[in-house]
Structure 1
Amino acid sequence: MKNTGSVCVLVLALIFVGSVCAQSKTEEFLLKYGYLAERSGNNRAENPTPEEIEQAILKFQRFTGLPQTGRLDETTKNKMIAPRCGVKDLGGDLAEFRAVSKWPKNLITWKIRQFSETSKMSHGQQRRAMRKGLKRWADVTPLQFRETSGKPTLDIIFGKKNHGDNHPFDGRGGVLAHAFFPRNGRTHFDDDENWVNDKTSGTHLETVAAHEFGHALGLGHSAEPKSIMAPYYQTFPDGFTLHKDDVAGIQKLYGKNPNGPITTTTSKTKKTTPTSTPRSTTTTSPPRGKGFCNHVYRSIDAAMRIDENDFVFVDNGKVIDGRTGQKMAIQNLFYDGPNTVHAAVYSKDFSKAYLFKDNQVWAYTLSHYGQFRLVKDFPKRFTNKYVQKPECAMLYNFHGERIFLVKDGYFVEFMPYYETVAPYRGYKTSDFFLNIPSRIDAAISSDNKVQFIVKDKAYTMPNDVRVVSIRGKPTNLAFNKCQN
C-alpha cells in the first residue's frame, strides 16, 4: 500500500509539474508574439492574471481565425506550435494589412552573407529562391532589387540557435525565420530547418523568403489567412500572385508598379477581422490644403516628436505617422488606445509616449520593431478636473524634463514617475511663458524648444528664454520632414 501511495503521489506531482510547464509555455508564447503586455517597473515580477491570459488567448484566436473560446483547447495548442515566422503579431492589431515602416529609396540591394550549410540546395538555388521571393514585391511596386557584393540593404544569413541578434532560433519546426523592419534590413533563416526548392519534402525557401522580405520592406503580420504575410507557414500553388491584402499593404508604403495594372488573387476568402477599424488616408470634409506628409485634414488635435519623427493627431480620430507618411485610425497605430486624442507627448527620461483623452492617460513604449505597446495597468484616470480634455501636452526641457498639461490659460504638471497629474489647478500660463497663445490646438516639443500650434500657425518658444515668438510660421514648418 505504501508503494501504491508513493506512485499516486508521484503521478499527481508529475501532472502538476506538467500543468505548470504548459501554463508557462503558453504565457511565454503569448508574451513573445505580443498578445500579453510585458511587465515593467514594480510589476515586472508579477504573473499574468487568469483574466489577462484569457483575453490574450482570445486575441490570438481572433488573429489566427480560430473559434474564439478564450480557452487553451487542442486546436489553439496545435496552432501555437505550428511552424511560423518569429516576428511578433503586433499585439493583435486586426486590420487587413499592417504597413509599419519603409525604406526611403526604391533601389534595394541584397546579399546572402551566410548560406545554409545544412540544406541540400546549392548556393545558386538559394540565391534563386531569394530572387523569386523579392520578385513578388517588385511585381506590384516601383521597387527594384539588386544583388550586391558590398554592404547590402537586406543582409541575409542562415544561422542556428543563438546567431547574434538576441532572438535565438529554436531548432527544427517552430520559428522558421525572422526579419527586422526598415531601416534595419537583417533577414535571418533557421539553418536547422529542411530548406527545399519544392513544396513536398521540406520547408519551401522561396515562400518563407517572400514572407520575411515583406517584413524587411515594412509590413507586419496580417490576419488575412490567405495573405503571404499571415504569420504561419503555408504553401501556395505554382504561379500564384500576391493576395490583394499583401498588395494593398506594400503599395500603401511604396505605391504601384508604374509599368501597368497588377493582377491579384481572386480569392473571396471571408475576412477574419470584421470588427477592425477601417483605414482611411483622406477626409471627406472640404479640404483646407495639404498638410503634414501631404495629407488633407481640417484640424490638428495633438502632436509629439519621438527621435526626430513626428506623430500628428488630426480630425478627431486620425494620426499621421511621420516615419511612413501613413494616415490611419489612432487605434491602428496605438493598439487598445483612445479613439481620439486631446494631447500627446513623449518622455525621453521614461522612454514612453503619453496620450491624453478626457481625464485618462495611456502610456506606450516603443519596441525595437517600431511598434507602440501599451504599458501594463494603463489607461489610468486622473481626478484633476482643471485639466480634463487638455488643450496640449508640453514637454519643457530646461535643467530637467517637465511635462505640463495646458488648459484655459493654466498649466498643471503631469508626473510620469507617479503616473498622475498634480492635484491642484496649476499656474497661470502667461505668468511663466511670455506671449504664449491664449488658446492652443497642439504643442510639439524637442530638446531645445516648444512649438505651439494655433490653427494654421506655429509659434516657437526656446526652452532657455521662455518667450514665445509673436510671429507665427506656417504649421507645416513646425514638423520634421515626413519620411515617406
Structure 2
Amino acid sequence: MSSRLILLALWSFCMVTCCLAQNSTVETEEEAMAYLNKYGYLDMTGGMPNTEERRRALEYFQRFANITMTGVLDDETLVMMNTPRCGMVDMNSPADMMRKKRYALGSRWSKTELTYKIINRTPDLPADEVDRIITESIEKWADVSRLTFTLVTSGDADILISFAAGSHGDDGPFDGPGGVLAHAYYPSSNAIGGDAHFDEDEDYTDASSRGINMEWVAVHEFGHSLGLGHSQIEGAVMYPYYTGYVPNFQLNSDDIAGIQAHYGENVGEPEDTPPTPVDKCMTSITMATRTLDGSTYLGNATHLYRRLTDGSIPDGYPKVIGVEFPGLPTALDAALFYPPNGKTYFFKGSQYWRFRNQRMDRGFPRPLSDWRGLPNDISSAFIWSRNGQIYFTKGDEYYRYYPGYGVLSYYPQPLSQWDGLPSDGVDAAFQWTNARTYFFKGSEYYRFNDRAVTVDQGYPINTATAWLGCDSDQLVVGPTSSPTTSPAAGDAVVLAPSMVAVLFSTIAAVFYSFQ
C-alpha cells in the first residue's frame, strides 16, 4: 500500500468527529457508481452503466483526485470516495477531463459589489466567532480581486449563508457527520443563486485540527458562490476534498488565477502604480493594441483609453483595465491584435489571455509556454506589415514568431537593428490601421516606416498630446499631427503585407488554431 493510501486511510479512520455516517459510506460497486453519478463522472439516467462506462468513469475520478488511474474500484479509490468533501459536482461532463488540471469557471456575477447575509449560525462556536470567520473567509476573495462585500442584517442579499442538517429545502440533502460538508450555488437569477449551505451535523472548529475547520469550508463554498468550480490542484482551496486545518491559511495561486479570470485583479494602487488619470492625460504608455471592432487601446499599468475608428475617445475613459476587459489583471506586459482570427492577446509574466473584443475566451489564462520559445515578461508585441509576421520585444532584444512553429532558432536579435528605435528597449508597440508600426517609450512614441525600415522623420513625438488630446480644446488629436511638429506624410497610405505573408498567416490561423 502506498504511503499516500496509508495516510488517507488513517485520516478516514482517525477523524472521530468526521467519520462517515453509515448511509454515506461507499463500500460496494453500486454505491461507487452512485457516487460517480452524483459528482458528474457518470450519467446513470439510462440505468446501470456497462463495464466500459464504469471503467472510464473510475479513471476520470482517479485522475481528478490525483490517485493512480487503474479504472477499477481499488482500496485507494474507496478511501478517496469516503473522504469528507464539498457536495458540488466535480465535472459537468466527461469532456471536462480534457482540460488541464487547474481552476474551472462557472457563471459569474454581473457586478463586483456584492452583499451577504448570515441567516443562522452553528452552535459549535460563539456567534461572534462565526461572524468573524465568515467575514474573513469571504474577504479572502476580495483581497485578490475587484470584488467588494457588504454584510447586511435585514432585507435580501446576493449571498445567503445558513446552517442546516439533512433535508433543508433544496435538492441536495446533507448526509450526517462527514461525507458532504457543505455546498453552494453558482451566481444566477434564481433565488438560490450564490447561496451557501453548511451541514449542521458537522463539528465546526476554529484554529484546531479537531473537527472540521470552518474557515476552510467557508472559503471553499464562497468560491462556488462567486462562480468557481472545483480544481484538480490539491493545494487549491477549490480542491473538492477537505484537507484539514492549515494555520495561516491563504488562497493558492490557482484559486487567485480563477477568481481574477472572472472579476479581474484587485486594483488597489501601490506606490509604484501610476495614479488614475482624471484629466484625459496619460504621461506614458505601457500597453497598446487594437480589437476586432476597430477600437484602439492605449494604457498604463492600471487604466486604459479607448479610441474609436473615427478618432474620438468615448466618455468615461480612462477605465480600469479589468472593467473594460473583465478577467484581465493590471500591470500587463504587452498586447497583440491578430487579424487572421480577430483575437486580441494580452500577456503578463508567464501567462496570456485571449479576447474577442471585450469578451474573454473560455479556458484562459493559459501558460505562456504555449508560445514555443517565447520568454516570460515580454515588453511588447506587434505584427510587422512588411512581412505580416509576429514580433515580440523584451528589453534590448526582439523575437520573430511563426504560428504553429514558435520562435525561430536564430532569435533573439538586437533591437538596435530597427533603425531609429531606442536600443535599450520599448514599453509597448502595435500596428495601427495605416499599416505603420508604432513604438512607445516613456512619454514619447516612434512611427516606424515598415517600407523604408526606419523611424519616420520628425519622431519621437509626445504620446499624450498626439494620441490622447492633452493640452487641447479638442479631446483627440490624431497621431498624424501635433503642436510640436507638422503632419508626416504617408499616414493615409495603407501598406499591405506581401501576398505570401497574408497567405501564411491565414493558413496558420486555420490549421494551428493559433493558441
TM-score (norm 1): 0.50
Shift of 1:239: 2.2
CA 1:237–1:290: 2 relative to 1, 3 Å: farther
Larger radius of gyration: 2
Match of 2:135 among 126, 131, 134: 131
Separation of aligned partners in 1, 2:202 and 2:325: 45
Separation of aligned partners in 2, 1:187 and 1:230: 17
Separation of aligned partners in 2, 1:58 and 1:172: 28
1:48-63 to 2 correspondence within 5 Å? 48-63=49-64
Shift of 1:298: 4.8
Please say if 1:206 is aligned against 2:206.
Answer: no
Shift of 1:186: 1.2
Please say if 1:23 is aligned against 2:24.
Answer: no
CA 1:38–1:320: 2 relative to 1, 3 Å: farther
Q: Which residue of 2 aligns with 1:411?
A: none
Bigger drift between 251-260 and 75-84 goes to 251-260
**One-letter amino acid of the counterpart of residue 152, structure 2:** T
Q: Which residue of 2 aligns with 1:102?
A: 108
Aligned residue for 2:181, secondary structure, equals strand
Q: Which residue of 2 aligns with 1:435?
A: none
Match of 2:164 among 159, 164, 171: 159
Please say if 1:289 is aligned against 2:295.
Answer: no
- 1:246-286 CA distance string (max 9 Å, x none): 0000000011111157xxxxxxxxxxxxxxxxxxxxxxxx9
**One-letter amino acid of the counterpart of residue 81, structure 1:** N
Match of 2:126 among 122, 133, 136: 122
Shift of 1:145: 1.1
Aligned residue for 1:114, secondary structure, equals coil
- 1:90-120 CA distance string (max 9 Å, x none): 244544111212111111111111222xx32
Q: Which residue of 1 aligns with 2:305?
A: none
Instruction: Indicate the percent of aligned positions where both proteins have the same amino acid.
Output: 36
Aligned residue for 1:328, secondary structure, equals coil
Aligned residue for 2:163, secondary structure, equals strand
Q: Which residue of 2 aligns with 1:140?
A: 144
Aligned residue for 1:66, secondary structure, equals coil
Separation of aligned partners in 1, 2:137 and 2:294: 36
Shift of 1:199: 2.6
Please say if 1:328 is aligned against 2:362.
Answer: yes
> Is the Cα–Cα contact under 8 Å of residues 207 and 247 in structure 2 kept in the other structure?
no
> Is the Cα–Cα contact under 8 Å of residues 319 and 329 in structure 1 kept in the other structure?
no
Separation of aligned partners in 1, 2:72 and 2:294: 47
- 1:274-312 CA distance string (max 9 Å, x none): xxxxxxxxxxxx9662499969675789xxxxxxxxxxx
Separation of aligned partners in 2, 1:147 and 1:166: 27
- 1:325-348 CA distance string (max 9 Å, x none): 430359x9xxxxxxxxxxxxxxxx
**One-letter amino acid of the counterpart of residue 140, structure 2:** R
Please say if 1:169 is aligned against 2:174.
Answer: yes
**One-letter amino acid of the counterpart of residue 35, structure 2:** F
Please say if 1:76 is aligned against 2:77.
Answer: yes
Separation of aligned partners in 2, 1:162 and 1:129: 25
> Is the Cα–Cα contact under 8 Å of residues 287 and 298 in structure 1 kept in the other structure?
no
**One-letter amino acid of the counterpart of residue 210, structure 1:** V
Separation of aligned partners in 2, 1:108 and 1:158: 21
> Is the Cα–Cα contact under 8 Å of residues 184 and 225 in structure 2 kept in the other structure?
yes
**One-letter amino acid of the counterpart of residue 205, structure 2:** V
Separation of aligned partners in 2, 1:29 and 1:220: 18
Separation of aligned partners in 1, 2:69 and 2:234: 16
CA 1:115–1:96: 2 relative to 1, 3 Å: same
Separation of aligned partners in 2, 1:163 and 1:88: 19
- 1:370-410 CA distance string (max 9 Å, x none): xxxxxxxxxxxxxxxxxxxxxxxxxxxxxxxxxxxxxxxxx
Separation of aligned partners in 2, 1:320 and 1:48: 40
- 1:428-450 CA distance string (max 9 Å, x none): xxxxxxxxxxxxxxxxxxxxxxx
> Is the Cα–Cα contact under 8 Å of residues 181 and 198 in structure 2 kept in the other structure?
yes
Compute the RMSD of aligned alpha carbons. 3.0
CA 1:81–1:181: 2 relative to 1, 3 Å: same
Q: Which residue of 2 aligns with 1:181?
A: 186
**One-letter amino acid of the counterpart of residue 155, structure 1:** L
Aligned residue for 2:135, secondary structure, equals helix
Separation of aligned partners in 1, 2:291 and 2:109: 30
Structure with bigger RCO (C-alpha 8 Å, 6+ apart): 1
Separation of aligned partners in 1, 2:102 and 2:259: 12
Separation of aligned partners in 2, 1:34 and 1:321: 30
CA 1:297–1:26: 2 relative to 1, 3 Å: farther
CA 1:169–1:319: 2 relative to 1, 3 Å: farther
Shift of 1:234: 1.2
Aligned residue for 2:257, secondary structure, equals helix
Separation of aligned partners in 1, 2:86 and 2:124: 22
Match of 1:244 among 253, 268, 277: 253
Separation of aligned partners in 2, 1:251 and 1:26: 35
**One-letter amino acid of the counterpart of residue 170, structure 2:** D
Q: Which residue of 2 aligns with 1:232?
A: 241
> Is the Cα–Cα contact under 8 Å of residues 325 and 360 in structure 2 kept in the other structure?
no
> Is the Cα–Cα contact under 8 Å of residues 209 and 244 in structure 2 kept in the other structure?
no
- 1:22-45 CA distance string (max 9 Å, x none): 121111100000001243xxxx3x
Q: Which residue of 2 aligns with 1:256?
A: 265
The aligned length equals 264
Aligned residue for 2:42, secondary structure, equals coil
Please say if 1:222 is aligned against 2:231.
Answer: yes
> Is the Cα–Cα contact under 8 Å of residues 63 and 94 in structure 1 kept in the other structure?
no
Q: Which residue of 1 aligns with 2:90?
A: 89
Separation of aligned partners in 1, 2:152 and 2:113: 12
Separation of aligned partners in 2, 1:108 and 1:206: 20
TM-score (norm 2): 0.47
> Is the Cα–Cα contact under 8 Å of residues 29 and 73 in structure 2 kept in the other structure?
no
| The structure with more strand, counted as a fraction of residues | 1
Shift of 1:236: 5.1
CA 1:256–1:124: 2 relative to 1, 3 Å: same
> Is the Cα–Cα contact under 8 Å of residues 114 and 148 in structure 2 kept in the other structure?
yes
CA 1:102–1:288: 2 relative to 1, 3 Å: closer
Aligned residue for 1:85, secondary structure, equals coil
